[in-house]
Homo-oligomer: A and B are copies of this chain.
Amino acid sequence: MLPFARVTVIGLGLLGSSIAHAVRAHMPTVRVTGHDADPEVRDVAVRIGLCDDIADTPGASVIDADFVVFCVPVGAMGAAAAAIADDLPADAIVSDVGSCKESVAEALTAALPGVTVIPAHPVAGTERSGPEAGFATLFHNRWCIVTPPEGAPALAVERVSEFWRQLGAQVETMTPNHHDRVLAVTSHLPHLIAYTIVGTASDLEEVTASEVIKYSAGGFRDFTRIAASDPTMWRDVFLANREAVLDMLQRFSEDLTALQRAIRWGKGDELFDLFTKTRAIRRSVIEQGQDDSREDFGRSHD
C-alpha cells in the first residue's frame, strides 16, 4: 500500500537525490518530480535521469503532487515553501528533511497557511553533496524522526511515516524541541567540533598543513570526513539551532577543561576511567546497527 502516488522533491542535493533514487527502487510506480533552484543542478538531474520529470519552476513541480519534500538548507525552507504556495494542491502533504525541526516547522507553516505540514528528519548522510551524491540505500536501517505539530492529522503523520519506512528507514516521533536537543548532541556538536579541529590544525605555524595531511591516519582523518560536509547546510543548522548547540557546546567545554586539568596534573586514573566508559558506548553503537561493525569503518587497507 503506497502512502503517496506523486512525490515532488525540491532541492536535489545528497538527500533529495537519494530520495529520488530510493523512491524509484522501493516504490517504482510512484511518479517523482524534481526541482532545484540551480539550473546546473537541474541539468545534471535531467542528464542522469534522476526523476520522471524535472520542473523548471517550483510551482510547476508541485502542480499535481500529493507529497512535497523540501531538501534545501534549513535557512532556505521558508522561501522555498513560499514559492510553491500558489500552486500546491489543497490536499497535498508537505514535509522536509532538515536537521533542525523547530525553526523549519515555523518557517514552513508560516509560508503555507492551512497546509498539512509534517516535518521529518532522516538521520543519514555522507560527506558528499550535489545531485550525483545520492543513492537508493542511504536510508536503509537509519532512523527517520518525524516531528508532527500539535494537532496534526494522525493519517497524515502515518502516511509520512510509511513513506520513510518504505524507503528502508525506521521511524520515531518526537517533539521538534526534543529533536533539536537530541540532534544538537548526536550531530550538530560533532560537526562543530570537527570543523574546529580541522581549522585549528590547518592554522599552525610550526606544523605545516602538509604534515597534518600526511600523518592524518593517526586519527585526524576521521574528523576531516565530517568537516567536508556541505558548508551552506551546516551554516544554516548552527544558526537555526543556536540555543541547543550553544548549550551542548558549553557542557563539552566544561568536560574538556576537566580533562585538560587531569592531563596537566597527571591524573592517569581519571583519564583511564573516561576512556573505558567511552569504549562501551562504541560497542552499543555497533550492537544497535548504527555503524559498520568492521574495524576502521570497513576502510580498505590495501
Contacts and interface: CB of A to CB of B under 8 A. Distances in A.
Given A138-B301, A193-B256, A278-B199, A123 B271 contact: no
Contacts of A213: 281, 284-285, 288, 290
Given A239-B268, A278-B224, A186 B202 contact: no
B126 A295 contact: yes
A244 B209 CA distance: 17
17 contacts: A123-B217, A182-B215, A183-B218, A190-B220, A193-B256, A196-B259, A199-B255, A209-B281, A213-B285, A213-B290, A217-B290, A219-B226, A227-B275, A231-B276, A242-B263, A249-B256, A249-B260
A197 interface: yes
Interface stretch (A4-12, A29-37, A105-113, A139-147): A139-147
A245 interface: yes
Q: Is the interface of A mostly helix, strand, loop or mixed?
A: helix
A211 B179 CA distance: 10
A232 to B, nearest CB: 7
Interface stretch (A57-65, A78-86, A127-135, A149-157): A127-135
Contacts of A138: 301
Contact of A199 (B207, B223, B274): B274
Identical subunits present: 2
Contacts of A187: 215, 218-220
A204 interface: yes
Contacts of A279: 227-229, 231
Contacts of A99: 218
B182 A128 contact: no
Given A195-B275, A199-B255, A239-B271, 8 more contacts: A125-B218, A198-B281, A209-B284, A222-B223, A222-B225, A224-B278, A253-B253, A292-B299
A278 B193 contact: no
A56 to B, nearest CB: 28
A216 interface: yes
Contacts of A248: 200
Contacts of A140: 301-302
